[in-house]
Amino acid sequence: MIQVFFNALAVGLGIGTLGLGFLLVYRPTGVFHVSAGAIYAAMPFLLLELGTRGAPLWLSLLICVAFGIGISCAIEFFNHRRLGIGLSQTSAHLLSSLGIYIVLTQLVVIVWGPNVRSLRVGQDHSFRLGLLVATRAQILEITIQAVLLLAFAALLKFTNIGLKLRALMQNPSEMALLGYSTQGFRLLAFAISGVFVAVVSLVNAYDLGFDPHGGLPAIILAIAAVIVGGRDSFLGPVAGGLLLGLLRSLAVWFSPKWQDCFTFVLLAACLVFLPNGILGYSRRVKAP
Amino acid sequence: MNFLFHILAVIGIYCILSWGYALVFRLAGMLSLAYGCYFAIGAYVYALGVRHLPFFPLLLIGVASATAFGMVEAVLSWRLKGDFLFVGSLALQAVVYSLALNWVDIGQPPGSWSNLTNGAFGLPGLPRPAIFGITLDTESGYLALVAIVVIIGFCVYRNLVFSPWGRIVEMSRDDELAAATLGKSPRSLRVGVLLVAAGFGALGGMLYAAQTGFVDPDVAVLSQVIAILAMVATADLLGSRSPVVGAAVLIALPEALRFARLSSTYAANVQVLAYGLLLIGVAHVSRTRSARTVRPHEANDR
Amino acid sequence: MVFEDVSCRVNPGQLILLRGANASGKTTLLNILTGHLLADKGQITLNGVLKRTNVDFQASSWVSPRSTPEGFARAGISRSWQEIRLFPNHTIVDNVAAAAQNQSGERLLSALFLRGQVRESESENQAQSRALLSEVGMVGLAQRTPRTLSLGESKRVAIVRAIHAGAKVLFLDEPLAGLDVDGVHDVLTLILDLVRNQGLSVVIVEHLFHIPRLLPLADTVWTLARGKLAVQSPSAVQEELLHVTPGIIDWLGMLTKRGYLYSSEPLPNGAVIHIARRDPSAATVLDIQGLCLARDGASLLGDPLFPARTGISLSLRQGDIALIEAPNGWGKTTLLETLAGMVPNLTGSIRLDGRSMGQFSAWDRSCAGMSLLRSAGASFPTLTTGEVFRLANTPLPDRLLPISHQKVGELSGGQQQLVNLLRLLLSRRARVRLLDEPLNMLDPAATNIAEELLLADPLACTLLAIPASVRFTTEFQADNQTDLQGKTDIL
């Protein structure tokens, strides 16, 4: 049983971090950053490509993260900013984000082929820790993601930039009135979300392998984490992610084949019954 | 000549699908990708039932199954709006795809309870439907069937769009609160839209399965519904109320690509990529269009 | 807690006035009584012709079908909004026709299969709708779209639509806001006809400016203040309005004792600006010429073709304190937001210390010294008071030290407002301080603090927007009495 929890931790932190990246863009800008899924899909291919061209690992990783940031910012700069700041016409933002996802994903397929690939060769090392069996990939996943989240939390709490981000999440229009450039902060939000997507994508790819179409399921899970965990705090997506991770690893326990199906049925149920999430403050129910 | 009939039948099927989706996307303003589920359900119902049931009862069962699933999406639409409904619809689409892909058990015969869809192997060799004893083996005969369904579909679509029901659905899309204050229930309206759309989707799916003779999980894949979305969005973009224009354009697209002699391995991917570009284009153009109808107000001093 | 223990009755054929200061909870009460919001506790009983509907509120999240707006609407309760909510993509006659209840054409199956019947009942509906429109003299507008209508026409169409929906109780949210004398007359005529001749009950939520005009016509008055509802007779309210407590305008007038020069001037569309000037020879900080306002693409104030004559022009020098007094709907918030850069203006120039602000975005204007405090939505709930000041680059004043580690969201409404006010007025960067109804939530002690702060910075200028006061109302009434005489046979 504890194995289930451990697996859940590895998976859940990833979903939670992705969810946080999604929320970072959604709260201040209102944009549903579905195209992040394309970045998620492309990252491991890029790493592999750089690796086969002989770049040292540390450099490849840096380049990948830089690309993650770059593509994310480009999406904001060329697409969402053009569509207008302000929450009217949300479907134009969503439609274009979906379009970008499709274009980038298809490019990945055309350049690198549609097959499932892996970042490592053969069976992974596993360690025995008491009752647990942990693969190296899982330990890497948990450590890196936890470090990233903790670093982000520290950024939020102790730095000026963190203060501004927290303020931006709650009241972006008031931030503009205080003299902070809305455009600049939107870019920052997209950039940080790019970092999260890149990191999670790479560690997940190391653990489970990757394919060009893995982006959308990942981003749907991330959005689910935000919805389930609550959109009103930074902790919400992480909590939601852990819960979803638990559900997924339970599902794997029962039947690996139906894991996806089970997850998405649960997601739909959560959307219907928990619209504010478990950590969200209850909004007075408007007569629907 | 046969090839022409084939193409016309394909256009006809996509017209039916576009009308159904236009109800969801344009009339009711819901950006939902669950429409592909109805298509897939229709296709699989045909595949599983064509050897056991006559055509018309099969049609009814197909429509009924899709409509039942439509109720699921309707419940989702009660709670979710806009972007979040989109996510819910993606979840539904993923569920149906997963069902199509995984409801397989190699040892069992396809179509049996434990191996309903035969997974990635699909259900091949489907015969054409037989109506009143005549099997529609020829392309021209099949086109006739499609044409009849198209005409009926068009009449239904037109009647609904121009009726008081259509009017109140549009009004509810523009201002749900105001519609509610007039005593109209936005929930029931959306249920109605989705149920009718499910019917259109199922019909399209069944005709598609009958034409190709083969059904596999690809009928539930995302790019199917993206194609339909692109058709309807393009029609909107071109200012045409009729998605037929969109369907015609988007069927011509792969033919044009084939003409450009692109590597056949990735022709399908380029096609889907084009759909993506189209969606981005539609989003930007519709934005500028709505910005233009609002009176210009940027005349600040210099 | 917005309000508690509110009890009231609506009888048929009554005209009721619901009044209260801005932010007193009028809109919340209105939303609850029309089914748009769920109360935490209580009951609403609707006595329909055929049946009685009972709505019971409990703190649960599952919503019964009767407590939805459409449920209330079917029981005969309808409402209008402050903003016009006509369906933008349909004609006026369609807007009205769609309101009819129990249309066969609106049922999906009928629309599909019973086309003949649907066609018949729809043409009947269209005829009825046109008849309704012609009763109010607007049948010529039938084929137009809402965007082409004037404000007064739109408001009347909205009311006609509610009638066609079979409303027995009509809640109107500030129906007279933004209307000129003709518009007010037309709308009031319609409302009175509904109440006196057709037996409808109408509850008007209105702001102070229009209340004296409505008092003689109302049957009873509901006053919402400090969380409680009081039912009063119109004459009692009239008495109350005669006793004017000194407000901020009087305070401004008293600044003459400190050497200020005081003056009042009219602004376009029936507003007034009071200016207390410290030094007539000081440098000009804010200069506005021919400003025409727009909101959501619709012109609100001023004609772009004649900006000098119809737009707003004023200039403020260092140390000036100016008050714009205008009724709801005039455009106070739009003016301040336009100056701050949140809303684009139609025409006209805005200069800060001689520099043109036209091309500057909102944040650039803020850096240049244009600071705005909005009337609502200016807080950061999960930040602490200290963090808010850090964010605003303003030193934390001593008087706020006790709450510097408390989250803003946990403070009371009045405290939050005070924090925001201090944040803005103590800012070292602000050259022009724009305040939108800043004193709404403040108690007298906090108001004194605010008043002292307004004087604190001699190099900046301040522009406040406040709702029309009682005295303004009575003075305005007196000025326009002659216009009304010509039209009042019903009033």
Which residue in chain B has the smallest CA separation from A82? Answer: B284
DSSP category for residue A243: H
CA distance B145 to chain C (A): 22
Flag whether pLDDT at B298 surpasses 50.
no
Flag whether pLDDT at A87 surpasses 60.
no
Q: Chain C interface, mutation test: which of A177, A232, A285, A286, most C Cβ atoms within 10 Å?
A: A177
Burial class (CB in 10 A: 0-12, 13-18, 19+), C257: exposed
CA distance A27 to chain B (A): 13
User: C106: which strand partners?
Assistant: none
Q: Which residues of C touch A183 (CB under 8 A)?
A: 361
Residue A222 lies in a domain: no
Q: Which residues of B touch A223 (CB under 8 A)?
A: 87
Q: β-strands A132-135, A126-129: how paired?
A: antiparallel
CA distance A181 to chain C (A): 6
Contact B184/C at CB under 8 A: yes
Percent of chain A with pLDDT over 90: 38
Quick one: pLDDT at residue B195? 95
Q: What are phi and psi of C439, to 5 degrees?
A: -100, 5
CA distance B185 to chain C (A): 6
How does residue B289 score in pLDDT terms, banded at 50, 70 and 90? low
Residue A279 lies in a domain: no
Least confident of A190-204, B202-216, C301-315: C301-315
| Cα three-residue angle C388-C390-C395, rounded to 5 degrees | 105
Quick one: pLDDT at residue B291? 46
List the subunits that have 3+ CB pairs under 8 angstroms with C: A, B
Of A79, A99, A261, the CB nearest to B98: A261
Q: Which residues of A touch B31 (CB under 8 A)?
A: 91, 94-95
- Please give the Cα distance from B50 to B23 (Å, whole number): 29
Are A182 and C362 an interchain contact pair (Cβ–Cβ within 8 Å)?
yes
Residues 6+ apart with CB under 8 A from B137: B128
Contact C296/B at CB under 8 A: yes
Quick one: pLDDT at residue A278? 58
Quick one: pLDDT at residue B233? 83
How does residue A74 score in pLDDT terms, banded at 50, 70 and 90? very high
Quick one: pLDDT at residue B67? 95
Nearest to B50 by CA among B223, B230, B209, B241: B209
Residue A203 lies in a domain: yes
Residue A195 lies in a domain: yes
Residue A219 lies in a domain: no
- Please give the Cα distance from A236 to A228 (Å, whole number): 8
Quick one: pLDDT at residue C60? 52
Quick one: pLDDT at residue C158? 93
Burial class (CB in 10 A: 0-12, 13-18, 19+), B214: middle
Residues 6+ apart with CB under 8 A from A269: none
Question: Residues of B261-278 as b/e, b for ≥16 C-beta within 10 angstroms?
Answer: eeeeebeebbbbbbbbeb
Q: What are phi and psi of B222, to 5 degrees?
A: -60, -40
Residue A165 lies in a domain: yes
pLDDT, average across residues B11-35: 90
Flag whether pLDDT at A200 surpasses 60.
yes
pLDDT, average across residues A204-225: 88
Flag whether pLDDT at A282 surpasses 90.
no
Q: Which residues 19-78 of A are in CB contact (within 8 Å) with B?
A: 32
- Please give the Cα distance from A8 to A246 (Å, whole number): 5
Please give the biggest Cα pair distance in chain A.
61
Question: How far from C491 is each of B149, C191, C217, C290, C487, CA to CA, in Å?
Answer: 63, 11, 7, 37, 9
3-state secondary structure of C285: strand
What six digits make up the tokens of A54?
Answer: 């002989």
- Please give the Cα distance from C75 to C12 (Å, whole number): 14
pLDDT, average across residues B176-182: 90
End-to-end CA gap in chain C: 38
Structurally, chain A folds into a number of domains equal to: 1
Quick one: pLDDT at residue A58? 87
Quick one: pLDDT at residue C53? 66
Q: Which residues of C touch B184 (CB under 8 A)?
A: 70, 98, 106
Percent of chain A with pLDDT over 70: 93
Quick one: pLDDT at residue A285? 39
Contact A159/C at CB under 8 A: no
What six digits make up the tokens of C53?
Answer: 């509907």
Q: Which residues 131-150 of A are in CB contact (within 8 Å) with B?
A: none
One-character DSSP codes across C371-385: EEE-SSS---TTSBH
Round the average pLDDT of chain B to a whole number and report it: 83
End-to-end CA gap in chain A: 41
Contact C342/A at CB under 8 A: yes
State the SS3 of B120-172. Answer: HHCECCCCCCEECCEECCCHHHHHHHHHHHHHHHHHHHHHHHCCHHHHHHHHH
CA distance A184 to chain C (A): 11
Q: Which residues 98-127 of C are in CB contact (within 8 Å) with B?
A: 98-99, 101, 103, 105-108, 110-112, 115, 118, 122, 125
pLDDT, average across residues B71-96: 88
Q: Which residues of B touch A91 (CB under 8 A)?
A: 29, 31, 82-83
One-character DSSP codes across C151-188: HHHHHHHHHHHHHHTT-SEEEEESTTTT--HHHHHHHH
Per the rule left: phi > 0, alpha: psi between -120 and 50, beta: everything else, C5 is: left
Of A32, A109, A258, the CB nearest to B269: A109
- Please give the Cα distance from C484 to C477 (Å, whole number): 9
Quick one: pLDDT at residue A276? 62
Is the pTM above the cut of 0.90? no
Quick one: pLDDT at residue C483? 39
Residue A179 lies in a domain: yes
Contact C347/B at CB under 8 A: yes
Q: Which residues of A touch B280 (CB under 8 A)?
A: 79, 95-96, 99-100, 103
Least confident of A194-203, B126-135, B171-180, B211-220: B126-135
Quick one: pLDDT at residue A275? 65
Range of the domain at A107: 14-207
List the subunits that have 3+ CB pairs under 8 angstroms with A: B, C
Residue A246 lies in a domain: no
Of B29, B269, B282, the CB nearest to A110: B269
Flag whether pLDDT at B299 surpasses 50.
no
List the subunits that have 3+ CB pairs under 8 angstroms with B: A, C
Low-confidence ranges of chain C (pLDDT < 70): 1, 48-54, 56-66, 244-246, 470-491
- Please give the Cα distance from C87 to B18 (Å, whole number): 26
